[in-house]
A and B are shown apart, each in its own frame.
Chain A
Amino acid sequence: MSSQPHTVMRVADLVPEGAAGVTLILDGALDCQPGQFIMAWLPGIEERPFSVMDDAPLSLSVAHVGPFTHALCLLQPGDRLWLRGPYGHGFALHGAHPLLIAGGSGAAGLTLLAKRARPRGDQVSVVLGARTADLLMLRWRYEELGCVVAIATDDGSCGLCGTALDACNALDGPQHDVLYACGPEPMLRAVARYARDRALPCWVSLERVMKCGIGVCGSCHCGERLVCADGPVFASSVLL
């Protein structure tokens, strides 16, 4: 480490993510585990946490929800982005038939897991949930990685009309032996109960407001745990 906390990369390419936001493909790589995150800084604007959607090239998928994510969505190829990390504890691979359940921008938190499962020969299924079809993120990426993808939207504009969990129930195919989930907390709680009822091992990735990202300031606490340092990935029992 130097007295520059951040490293700088340039945007190499953009993939639009419908009305949800954008995927930024950067011109460098980052050595990290699936489920870890980085702090992204735009000088003069803000610094916020984002999942590592892909490690090589480093890619982030951004859902536009407020001023900082708006600024990220305006970046163009050649623009610079400042980063520090990777931080936190990510997912470890278990089982041979993982089911990945993502809601909204939570899709960005599970792609690297699918990428790492692939060379093991695991059969990866993914359920992507969103409010409407144009808010779905990263379907292209999961398909590129050879996953079986099921979709659920609240209004039925794509896939099943219902929640991501409804789509899990409707899935046929191999019996899943492990669950991984990332997305809004009500969805994660429902997934945690679903896993408990079926006695399946399950890990979830949580979000909290972050300042330091390195386990010092305490702003991201969830009970006695710090999401940035103890997580963001936890056994789903923490939500029961």
Chain B
Amino acid sequence: MTDLCVELCGVKLPTPLVLASGIWGCCAETLVRAAREGAGAVTAKSCSLEPRVGHPNPTVLPWSGGLINAVGLSNPGAPAERDVLRTARGELAQLGVPLIASVYGHSVEGFWEAVRLIAQAEPDFIELNISCPNVESEFGKPFALDPDAAGRVTAAARAVYAGKLLVKLSPNAPEIVAVARAVAAAGADGLTAVNTLGPGMLIDVRARRPVLANRVGGISGPALHPVAVRCVYELAGALDLPIIGTGGVRSGEDALRMVMAGATAVGVGSALCGEGIGVFRRILNELEGLMTEEGIDHLADVRGCAHV
């Protein structure tokens, strides 16, 4: 009998698939729908202390390698997001699906103030998004590129939040393991790896200019997948923290690959493009089929098994 339940930092997820931040999750209703459709945990869109409108269009574009986006962290601000999360949490609890809130700040103070407010909604986890590559022109290099800065933000959040704390890492960090060690030492309970790659740029040759209004944006989907797998592999090899392996997962095979690299749960984001929310059921069916075929009863039995 295959069993798809997993445990992340002691919290039970009915399936290993996690709705990634910024995908679908800008209101309580869509988060709840993702949970009903097979997500084992759902991550809300990142929110900052103050509301943000984000960048003008084009902000999200499909291309042959997946997606490129520079949404620019549009969100209603932490006080309004707290209310959205409260509503979502009540309904998600009935489904047994944990809620992951996501917080973003452009300074250490911005982070901890937003964390303090979001904590009032009592999500099951708070994820620190220290790795968004799309607001660099406004706020400078993401904290996730530098172990010291990443550690400082994590410590500040830890000081005001006693619940489960995840930190979302960047595939662009020159040494992702050093960043992970710093956030672990500062009190993170788990890691989400990874955010988008880049930034990258698409240029339309007829328009003779970059297509995104922000010119550059984060790369997600298939083009990111092998990079994400390598990041998860390195992290799992070096640290003991549970990891949500995220990046270009589109099939049961991709999900199992993430687990074999060392992930405890598997994030799904860009795969919703085109296929829609049914993607969760399809991936779960494929994963179950593959586990039966390979004689795997529990994902925990093969977690990290690719470390050879």
Contacts and interface: CB of A to CB of B under 8 A. Distances in A.
Nearest to B23: A216
B211 A221 contact: no
A212 B25 contact: no
B68 to A, nearest CB: 8
A234 to B, nearest CB: 14
B62 A6 contact: no
Contacts of B32: 224
A48 interface: yes
B60 A212 contact: yes
B96 to A, nearest CB: 18
Contacts of A84: 61-62
Given A3-B65, A6-B204, A216-B273, A46 B60 contact: no
Which of A4, A41, A217, A230 counts the most B-chain CB atoms under 10 A from its CB?
A: A217
A43 B30 contact: no
A218 B211 contact: no
A5 B206 contact: no
Contacts of A194: none
B62 A5 contact: yes
Contacts of B74: 219
**Size bracket, chain B contacts:** 35 or more
A121 interface: no
B202 interface: yes
A4 B155 CA distance: 42
Contact of B64 (A3, A41, A215): A3
A3 B211 CA distance: 10
Nearest to B270: A216
Interface in B48-101: 54, 56-65, 67, 69, 71, 74
A232 to B, nearest CB: 14
A13 to B, nearest CB: 21
Contact of A215 (B202, B209, B273): B273
B26 A1 contact: no
B63 A43 contact: no
Interface string A204-237: 0000000110111111010110100110000000
A2 interface: yes
A157 B93 CA distance: 56
Interface in B188-210: 202, 204-207, 209
Interface in A79-124: 80, 82, 84
Contacts of A230: 276
Interface string A30-73: 00000000010101101110000000000000000000000000
Contacts of A4: 63, 202, 204-205, 211
Contact of A221 (B23, B29, B56, B272): B29
Nearest to B61: A5
Contacts of B26: 217-219, 221
A8 interface: yes
Contacts of A82: 204, 206-207
Nearest to A216: B273
Contacts of A8: 206
A1 B29 contact: no
B11 interface: no
Contact of A223 (B25, B29, B202): B29
6 tightest Cβ-Cβ pairs between the two chains A and B: A212-B60, A43-B207, A224-B29, A47-B57, A218-B26, A224-B33
27 contacts: A3-B63, A5-B63, A41-B57, A46-B56, A46-B213, A47-B57, A47-B58, A47-B213, A82-B206, A211-B57, A212-B59, A212-B61, A212-B69, A214-B60, A215-B273, A216-B23, A216-B60, A216-B69, A216-B269, A217-B22, A217-B26, A217-B71, A218-B27, A219-B74, A223-B29, A224-B30, A226-B24
Interface of A: 1-6, 8, 39, 41, 43-44, 46-48, 80, 82, 84, 211-212, 214-219, 221, 223-224, 226, 229-230
Interface of B: 22-27, 29-30, 32-33, 45, 54, 56-65, 67, 69, 71, 74, 202, 204-207, 209, 211, 213, 269-270, 272-274, 276
Given A212-B59, A214-B274, 5 more contacts: A4-B205, A5-B202, A47-B58, A216-B60, A217-B59
